[in-house]
């Protein structure tokens, strides 16, 4: 990519803080799966932490202090029943502990080393030595940022007269989770979602609510409303609700593949708008940013392009994985390969910062603010599960492979 002197000056001004940072990758821990094993990188030392090959369908999760790792292992029993075991690995002792024999959607508390998880619609908390029932009929949930409770949803159910409503609840554990005997007293109904929601002429049935995320000031909660399973691959609705449940708004049409993300310090919500699964074409995928409570929006994707993922760099800039608009092809060589672009909200500068080799693309950008570096996956096809994890300065310079043949992964840093 040939750059003009003017462009180089702009790059130097934009990225000066990142280029002069003396932080390095050893300040960040990485956990990942590869070839049926779990691995970690601590102090730039790559270590395999499991001895037996297994199936890990979900990324491992770091505890809030980076001392423990939560992971899920798929196990097939003698009766051929598949279960999802929940385990914790302690880095200091190198000890693995099985938390539950068959659960899903486990999450660390944001303030202490306890784990929540769902099993058969029951929300539970484990203190790593035992578990406690917290609430019934939970579909999806998220910890409140102070660790004293949850926002949770119950899904709609089908009855002879049609679908019921999905409902949002708040669940408090402020008085302690160990002594809960009545699983309803600490639960409050927050909001009943309408049976049908949409934008303009695009409407969907409201069946479930998921992917909850709190705004930086904790006054707003974004989430996705989804219809029935197959329909949800093509059309879902991004919604937002105030923490007190008094204000609710459907923001835009999205698909579940792309997760909305709040900025670091301001109430700016970034998301990739547009319905239609990727196998219908690389199109109708626009990066938008909406400010709350004003609901002022800006579209950052130029005409004839589509976005495949994004990350915030700071509250005024982002990095996206972008492709030229194209129809889907069953031939991997004929599909467009994304590159990374740096975007600013003010002035809307858009600069290509990576140029992958022919027939390779750059996916899943994640900015690590603790070390002012950008990471991404480089692979030969969007459908490939394996890729090489790259790391570079936030202008794309000094790019190098950090981890080879990585599958699912997660990071931990001091400002995680």
Count the Cβ atoms, other than its own, within 10 Å of residue 97.
14
Distances (CA, A) of 287 to 166, 274, 297, 321: 28, 9, 10, 10
pLDDT at position 347, please? 67
In the predicted model, residues of the chain with pLDDT beneath 70 are 1-26, 347, 415-416
Residue 109 — left, alpha, or beta (φ > 0 → left; ψ -120 to 50 → alpha)?
beta
Closest CA to 191 of 110, 245, 148, 125: 245
How confident is the model at residue 416, as a pLDDT? 52
The torsion angles phi and psi of 167, rounded to 5 degrees, stand at -130, 140
Can you tell me the distance from the alpha carbon of 273 to that of 255, in angstroms, rounded to the nearest whole number? Answer: 8
Question: Which residues touch 330 (CB under 8 Å, ≥6 apart)?
Answer: none
Burial class (CB in 10 A: 0-12, 13-18, 19+), 253: buried
CA-CA distance, 146 to 32, in Å (whole number)?
Answer: 28
Which value, to the nearest 10 degrees, does the dihedral of the CA atoms of residues 174, 178, 183, 185 take? -40
* Per-residue pLDDT, 23: 40
Q: Nearest Cα to 387, choosing from 395, 375, 397, 398?
A: 375
Backbone φ and ψ for 174, nearest 5 degrees, come out as -60, -30
Residues 341/345/346/349 CA torsion (nearest 10 deg): 10
> By three-state DSSP, how is residue 259 classified?
coil
pTM of the model: 0.91
Contact 117, 104 (CB under 8 A): yes
What's the pLDDT score for residue 348? Answer: 75
214 bridge partner residues: 221
Structural domain boundaries in the chain? 1-53+307-322+336-416
**Which residue carries 């999450």 as its tokens?**
107
Which H/E stretch holds residue 18? helix 5-19
Q: Distance between alpha carbon 44 and the CA centroid of its chain, in Å?
A: 25
- pLDDT of the residue at 26: 65
- State the Cα–Cα distance between residues 86 and 336, nearest whole angstrom: 38
Q: Distance from CA of residue 21 to its chain's centroid?
A: 27
Structure tokens at 140: 């999806």
Do 269 and 260 touch, CB atoms closer than 8 A? Answer: yes
Residue 61's contacts (CB-CB under 8 Å, 6 or more residues apart) are 31, 69, 70, 71, 106, 107, 108, 410
Widest Cα–Cα separation across the chain: 69
pLDDT at 265: 97
Residues of the chain by 3-state class (helix, strand, coil), percent to 5: 5, 50, 45
pLDDT at 19: 37
Residue 352: how many CB atoms within 10 A of its CB? 13
230-236 long-range Cβ contacts below 8 angstroms, 24+ apart: 231/204, 231/205, 232/207, 232/256, 233/277, 234/275, 234/276, 234/277, 234/280, 235/202, 235/204, 235/275, 235/276, 236/204, 236/275
């Amino acid at each position: 990519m040939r750059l003009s002197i003017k462009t180089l000056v702009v790059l130097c001004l934009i990225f000066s803080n990142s280029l002069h940072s003396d932080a390095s990758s050893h300040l960040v821990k990485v956990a990942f799966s590869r070839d049926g094993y779990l691995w970690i990188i601590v102090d730039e030392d790559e270590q395999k932490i499991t001895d037996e090959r297994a199936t890990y369908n979900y990324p491992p999760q770091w505890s809030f202090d980076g001392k423990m790792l939560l992971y899920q292992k798929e196990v097939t029993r003698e009766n051929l029943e598949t279960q999802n075991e929940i385990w914790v690995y302690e880095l200091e002792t190198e000890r693995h502990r099985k938390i539950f024999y068959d659960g899903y959607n486990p999450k660390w508390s944001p303030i202490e080393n306890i784990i929540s998880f769902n099993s058969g619609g029951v929300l539970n908390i484990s203190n790593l030595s035992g578990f406690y029932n917290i609430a019934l009929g939970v579909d999806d949930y998220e910890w409140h940022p102070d660790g004293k409770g949850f926002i949770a949803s119950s899904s709609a159910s089908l009855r002879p007269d049609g679908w019921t409503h999905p409902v949002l609840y708040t669940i408090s554990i402020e008085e302690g989770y160990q002594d809960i005997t009545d699983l309803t007293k600490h639960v409050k109904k927050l909001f009943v979602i309408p049976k049908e929601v949409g934008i303009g002429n695009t409407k969907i049935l409201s069946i479930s609510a998921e992917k909850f995320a709190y705004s930086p000031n904790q006054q707003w909660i974004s989430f996705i409303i989804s219809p029935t399973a197959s329909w949800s691959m093509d059309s879902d609705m991004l919604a937002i609700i105030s923490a007190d449940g008094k204000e609710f708004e459907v923001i835009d049409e999205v698909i579940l593949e792309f997760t909305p993300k709040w900025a670091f310090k301001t109430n700016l919500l970034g998301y990739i708008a547009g319905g239609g699964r990727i196998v219908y074409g690389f199109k109708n995928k626009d990066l938008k940013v909406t400010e709350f409570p004003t609901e002022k929006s800006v579209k950052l994707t130029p005409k004839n392009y589509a976005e495949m993922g994004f990350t915030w760099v700071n509250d005024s800039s982002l990095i996206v994985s972008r492709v030229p608009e194209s129809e889907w092809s069953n031939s991997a060589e004929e599909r467009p390969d994304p590159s990374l672009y740096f975007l600013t909200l003010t002035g809307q500068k858009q600069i290509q910062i990576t140029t992958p080799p022919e027939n390779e693309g750059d996916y899943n950008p994640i900015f690590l603010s603790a070390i002012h570096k950008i990471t991404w996956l480089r692979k030969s096809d969007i459908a490939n599960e394996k890729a090489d994890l790259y790391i570079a300065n936030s202008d794309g310079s000094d790019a190098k492979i950090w981890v080879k043949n990585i599958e699912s992964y997660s990071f931990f840093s001091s400002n995680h």
